[in-house]
Amino acid sequence: MPDSIRQYGRCLILIAAAGLSACASTGIAPGSEVEETPRVYSPEQAAQWSSKGKLAHEQGDIAGAVDAWQQAVKFNPADAVTVNNLALVLQQQHRFSEAARVLKQGVEASPGTAELHYNLAVISELYLLDLESALVHYQRYQALAPEEDTMVAGWIADLERRLQ
């Protein structure tokens, strides 16, 4: 895992060392209207799932940790620590699109969390080669960070040149 992936909060247990296809599989015709089930947020249930994920991870049960953290994020996508834990494990498993999707969900729920923007930018740039998204999220990270990160400022300048 690159050193550039940031960890969020002291509760983070991970350490840096350590559309259409859905429509086809469900039989729903592309473009047809599907009524979405309203999302139910439950921070209490999310905390229980997050704890189960942490315990599973500590015991080396990575699949169990992923499953539990996915449930936690469903119940509370604003929990940046759990979103980051899940995204980092998915990234370690080379599940980059899933990691980006989780981080996007976290950014939508907690747009003011700088670390979520940073991690989404890194995955977008290095693994998905989505330079436009990377630039947007590096810029957002810089705007939210308590002080300017000169390394990120250099990456932003580089991306701006590459995208011209």
* Band (40; pLDDT cuts 50, 70, 90): low
Q: By mean pLDDT, which of 33-47, 57-71, 72-86, 124-138 is the weakest?
A: 33-47
Average pLDDT of 88-106?
Answer: 98
pLDDT at 126 (0 to 100): 97
The closest of 109, 107, 110, 62 to 86, measured between CA atoms, is 62
| DSSP conformation letters of 77-132 | TT-HHHHHHHHHHHHHTT-HHHHHHHHHHHHHH-TT-HHHHHHHHHHHHHTS--HH
pLDDT at 108 (0 to 100): 97
* Token reading at 132: 């436009």
Average pLDDT of the chain?
A: 82
For residues 121 and 141, is the Cβ–Cβ distance under 8 A?
A: yes
* Token reading at 15: 């350490």
For residues 63 and 43, is the Cβ–Cβ distance under 8 A?
A: no
For residues 116 and 110, is the Cβ–Cβ distance under 8 A?
A: yes
Q: By mean pLDDT, which of 31-35, 98-102, 137-141 is the weakest?
A: 31-35
* Token reading at 3: 């050193």
CA distance 54 to 34: 35
Taking 50 as the threshold, does the pLDDT of residue 57 lie above it?
A: yes
Average pLDDT of 39-43?
Answer: 77
Percent of the chain with pLDDT over 70: 76
Domains of the chain: residue spans and CATH:
41-163 (1.25.40.10)
